[in-house]
């Protein structure tokens, strides 16, 4: 980390209270501080004596009709009846957190006059909401889907929103197709099936007939569609925006977020199981990381193209189904973001936050990207259905800078403007438009001339080059996952027309890939190439490219699996070592009660250790690694327990790190029988044997265990 970045890091630790948090606290009620006597009241403030029994015309048995005159009961029921608002038409399920954004220096002032991107002395508060796209509010977190990554920057010049995704491109090129792609991917109209899935006829029917969706469909079917954590995803603005510098020069720009922890995904089997075992896996993961101080971080990068170079690429830089290869347009990292505070209440913050692509600040502008142009209309419009016309006044949405204009009235208006004029011009000038020189938003002068027609640009007609580029850039493991992911989905389509059309289309991406998928799903296996593979690739599209330079276990969840008779000193040393690396540990025993270390009698509750969870209650899927410490009796008890054996076998199947010490090694070797793995065999030896992610050792030095754990966790 550069010196400047180091200084940024230090600044963060002081920021738990940003300007936006202070603003929100004007509306936050802390019951302990708010009402000294904690009086329960009606909405109009009158103390309530009974909130349990509806007023009744009671007979001698204590029963009788409930009276409509009970205004307290009526208020309670009325309020409840109207608690729901329409969920987002897409991205309904989400989780959010507060944080801060800083730039390292003023290097971006070459491109933009925006203070948020050029002034290193600023700490800009942010609110970030992550989401899935297809499912309803109550759907599972780990479904295969695109993830939303929407950031609201509360800047000194007003709110700036980057309403992005974890994938750099999109399914369609023109906003007018959005209702079609969303109708196709959402549950089918006849039976409202499936939920949180794209594995159905209508989705594959649409994308098979709309070749511009091919590139994006491959990304979603790859590991990118099943992230391990919101904290381990890249983020992309996707659309092409513009930057304008102080001299009035204009540049095209794409925005990028790069996670500190690297880009990691679940295995598909794991994602499906987690969907049932813990549907809230991702939102809990975000909360857990922040609560344990492992604050999620991203670097912020820009790709910039001078206005004059707009047409110098073989693809159209305004086409949102294309990436800008980093070999052609390098990524410039200019800042970073840290999320350091969970929400106090879900509904007023995460649910009521309203992002708009049209929220931009001076120095940032739009382009003619036809997807962006439509989005700029859609977001403002949808908030009116969701939240009502005064949605910008809600605490989470209002800017931290002063906001004043002639907009008035409408349902649920909160502000009271003490001025008799609500029009411009007016004799009092309580508020007036500000010249550009003093900070007024400047529309960059752009020469526009054209023929009014419904059309697509010439370069927009090419749909397969970059899909092939993406496929070529994957590692063999990533490619295998993609083949399996797309095959899983296509084999859930029961209309042959659908999977036959799609497998035929895949031949335009790559002949061998199309053959593999078509063979698995019973589609059209091509006999000849539809198009030659151009052979181009880049390391930057594989998620392995983003693994941290120094591997880290920060925020990783590690299960320590024990039975009675485990080695307590070893477990304590392991826990301390993992904690020092900012990982969390969970002791998993036969019951969520005391588990008895070696030398402690069964039932000696005082000397037992409380297990955090039990084998049945938590599965290997929720953890990144599992360790089995020494202890003969413990190892034997684990070997006798089918669920414990399954724990280790399942973790191995999902390519997780597995550690075992002393007798724990025997358990893993004999009971779990992991195929192809080599083990440490000498219980008196300190030699570490590492094979297929299984790390075993006969003996450990408790005093050096922290250094050993670090060494092992930093090796590949
Ligand atoms: Fe959205 N999108 N979108 N979208 N989108 C919405 O706005 C829309 C697109 C994205 O956490 C809606 O407030 C159109 C691309 C995110 O609150 C709606 C088009 C990208 C979120 C809408 C697109 C996105 C939304 C629904 C095609 C990645 C969740 C609720 C032109 C760059 C934000 C809402 C949050 C939400 C419209 C395409 C990302 C209806 C018309 C491309 C992350 O306005």
What are the pLDDT digits (tens) for 647-703?
999 999 999 999 999 999 999 999 989 999 999 999 999 999 999 999 999 999 988
Distance 148 CA to ligand 1 centre (A): 8
Query: Helices H, strands E: what count in the chain?
Result: 21, 19
165 is catalytic: yes
Span 557-714: which CATH code? 3.40.50.880
Ligand 1 atom index nearest CA of 90: 26
Q: Is 356 in the pocket of ligand 1 (CB under 6 A)?
A: no
* Beta strands 584-589 and 557-561, pairing class: parallel
Residue 572: other Cβ atoms inside 10 A: 15
Q: Are strands 331-342 and 297-306 parallel, antiparallel or unpaired?
A: antiparallel
pLDDT at 680: 96
Provide the annotated binding site: 379
Residues spanned by CATH 2.40.180.10 within the chain?
A: 94-108+119-237+261-299+335-361+368-393
What is the side-by-side order of every strand in the sheet holding 557-561?
Answer: 613-614, 584-589, 557-561, 625-628, 657-661, 694-697, 689-691
**Residue 91 among the catalytic residues:** yes
C-alpha 136 to ligand 1 mean position (Å): 15
Question: 511-521 and 476-490 helices cross at what angle (nearest 10)?
Answer: 40
- The CA 164 to ligand 1 mean position distance, Å, reads 8
Which atom of ligand 1 has the smallest separation from the CA of 165? 28
375 CB within 6 A, ligand 1: yes
Q: Which CATH architecture has domain 464-546?
A: Up-down Bundle (1.20)
Helix/strand/coil for 462? coil
**Which residue has its alpha carbon closest to ligand 1 atom 7?**
379
Domain with CATH 3.40.50.880 in the chain: 557-714
Contacts of 323 (CB under 8 A, 6+ apart): 168, 169, 466, 541
Q: How far is the CA of 437 from the centre of ligand 1 (A)?
A: 33
The CATH code that applies to domain 94-108+119-237+261-299+335-361+368-393 is: 2.40.180.10
pLDDT band at 36 (very low <50, low <70, confident <90, very high): low
- Out of 98, 159, 165, 282, the active site residue is 165
Residue 163 CB less than 6 A away from ligand 1: yes
Tell me if 511 CB under 6 Å of ligand 1. no
Quick check: helix, strand or coil at residue 333? strand
Residue nearest to atom 8 of ligand 1 (CA): 375
Q: Is pLDDT of 716 > 60?
A: no
CA–CA separation, 678 vs 682, rounded Å? 12
Annotated binding site for heme: 379
Instruction: For 249, list phi and psi in degrees, rounded to 5.
Output: -85, 145
**Ligand 1: residue whose CA is nearest its atom 18:** 379
Please answer whether residues 127 and 152 qualify as being in contact, where contact means their C-beta atoms are separated by less than 8 angstroms: yes
Kindly state if the Cβ of 241 falls inside 6 Å of ligand 1: no
Instruction: Say which residue, 94 or 431, is predicted with more confidence.
Output: 94
Per residue in 467-525, pLDDT (tens digit) is 999 999 999 999 999 999 999 999 999 999 999 999 999 999 999 999 999 999 999 99
- CB distance 616 to 590 below 8 Å: no
Buried b or exposed e, range 508-536, using 16+ CB within 10 angstroms: bbbbebbbbbbebbebbebeeeeeebeee
- Could you tell me the distance, in angstroms and rounded to a whole number, from the CA of residue 477 to the centre of ligand 1? 31
- Position 344 confidence tier, pLDDT thresholds 50, 70, 90: very high
User: With 90 as the cut, is the pLDDT of residue 555 above it?
Assistant: yes
Q: Atom 44 (ligand 1): residue with closest C-alpha?
A: 379
| pTM for this entry | 0.96
pLDDT (average), residues 53-58: 97
Q: Band of the pLDDT at 38, cuts 50, 70, 90?
A: confident
**ipTM score here?**
0.98
Find out whether 503 and 490 touch, Cβ atoms under 8 Å: yes
Domain with CATH 1.20.1370.20 in the chain: 464-546
Torsion of CA 114, 116, 120, 124, to 10 degrees: 160
Q: What is the pLDDT of residues 591-647, one digit of tens each?
A: 999 999 999 999 999 999 999 999 999 999 999 999 999 999 999 999 999 999 999
pLDDT at 711: 76
Q: Considering only CA atoms, which residue is closest to atom 43 of ligand 1?
A: 148
């Amino acid at each position: 980390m550069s010196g400047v970045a180091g200084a940024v890091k230090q600044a963060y630790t002081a920021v738990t209270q940003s300007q936006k948090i202070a603003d929100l606290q004007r509306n936050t009620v802390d019951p302990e501080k708010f009402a000294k006597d904690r009086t329960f009241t009606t909405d109009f403030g009158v103390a309530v004596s009974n909130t349990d029994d509806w007023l009744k015309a009671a007979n001698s048995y204590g029963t009788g009709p409930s009276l409509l005159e009970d205004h307290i009961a009526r208020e309670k029921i009325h309020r409840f009846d109207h608690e729901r608002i329409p969920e987002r038409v897409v991205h309904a399920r989400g989780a959010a957190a507060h944080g801060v954004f800083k730039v390292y220096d003023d290097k971006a002032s070459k491109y933009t006059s925006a203070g948020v991107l050029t002034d290193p002395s600023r700490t800009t508060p942010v609110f970030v909401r992550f989401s899935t796209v297809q499912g309803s509010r109550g759907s599972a977190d780990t479904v295969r889907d695109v993830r939303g990554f929407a950031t609201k920057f509360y800047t000194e010049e007003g709110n700036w929103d980057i309403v992005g995704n974890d994938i750099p491109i999109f399914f369609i090129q023109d906003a007018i197709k959005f209702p079609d792609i969303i109708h196709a991917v959402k549950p089918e109209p006849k039976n409202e099936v499936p939920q949180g899935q794209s594995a159905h006829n209508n989705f594959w029917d649409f994308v098979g007939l709309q070749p511009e969706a091919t590139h994006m469909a491959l990304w979603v079917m790859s590991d990118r569609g099943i992230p391990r954590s919101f904290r381990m995803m890249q983020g992309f603005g996707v659309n092409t925006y513009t930057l304008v510098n102080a001299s009035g020069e204009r540049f095209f720009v794409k925005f990028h977020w790069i996670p500190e922890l690297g880009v990691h995904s679940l295995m598909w089997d794991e994602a499906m199981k987690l969907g049932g075992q813990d549907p809230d896996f991702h939102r809990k993961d975000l909360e857990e990381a922040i609560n344990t101080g492992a604050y999620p971080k991203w670097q912020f990068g820009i790709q910039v193209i001078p206005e004059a170079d707009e047409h110098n690429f073989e693809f159209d830089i305004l086409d949102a189904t294309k990436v800008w290869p980093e070999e052609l347009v390098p990524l410039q990292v200019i800042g970073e973001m840290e999320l350091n505070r969970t929400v106090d209440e879900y509904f007023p913050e995460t649910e009521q936050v309203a992002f708009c692509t049209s929220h931009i600040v001076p120095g940032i502008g739009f382009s003619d990207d036809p997807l962006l142009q439509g989005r700029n209309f859609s977001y403002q419009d949808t908030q009116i259905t969701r939240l009502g016309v005064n949605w910008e006044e809600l605490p989470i949405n209002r800017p931290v800078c002063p906001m004043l204009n002639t907009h008035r009235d409408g349902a649920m208006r909160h502000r009271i403007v003490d001025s008799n004029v609500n029009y411009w011009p007016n004799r009092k000038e309580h508020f007036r438009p500000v010249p550009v020189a003093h900070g007024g938003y400047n529309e960059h002068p752009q020469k526009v001339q054209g023929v009014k027609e419904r059309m697509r640009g010439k370069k927009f007609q090419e749909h397969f080059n970059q899909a092939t580029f993406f496929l070529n850039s994957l590692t063999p493991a990533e490619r295998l996952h993609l083949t399996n992911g797309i095959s899983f989905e296509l084999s859930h389509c029961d209309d042959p027309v659908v999977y036959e059309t799609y497998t035929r289309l895949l031949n335009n991406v790559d002949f061998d890939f199309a053959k593999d998928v078509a063979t698995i799903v019973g589609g059209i296996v091509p006999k000849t190439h539809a198009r030659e593979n151009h052979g181009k690739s880049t390391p930057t599209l594989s998620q392995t490219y983003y693994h941290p330079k120094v591997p880290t276990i920060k925020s990783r969840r590690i299960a320590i699996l024990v039975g009675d008779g485990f080695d307590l000193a070893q477990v304590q040393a392991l826990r301390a070592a993992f904690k020092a690396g900012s990982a969390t540990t969970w002791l998993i025993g036969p019951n969520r009660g005391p588990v008895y270390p070696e030398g402690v009698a069964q039932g000696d509750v005082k000397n037992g250790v409380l297990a955090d969870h039990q084998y049945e209650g938590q599965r290997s899927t929720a953890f990144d690694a599992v360790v089995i410490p020494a202890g003969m009796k413990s190892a034997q008890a684990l070997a006798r327990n089918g669920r414990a054996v399954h724990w280790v076998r399942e973790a191995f199947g999902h390519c997780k790190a597995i550690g075992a010490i002393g007798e724990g090694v025997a358990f893993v070797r004999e009971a779990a029988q992991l195929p192809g793995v080599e083990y440490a065999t000498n219980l008196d030896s300190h030699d570490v044997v590492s094979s297929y992610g299984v790390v075993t050792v006969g003996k450990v030095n408790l005093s050096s265990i922290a250094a050993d754990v670090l060494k092992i966790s930093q090796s590949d």
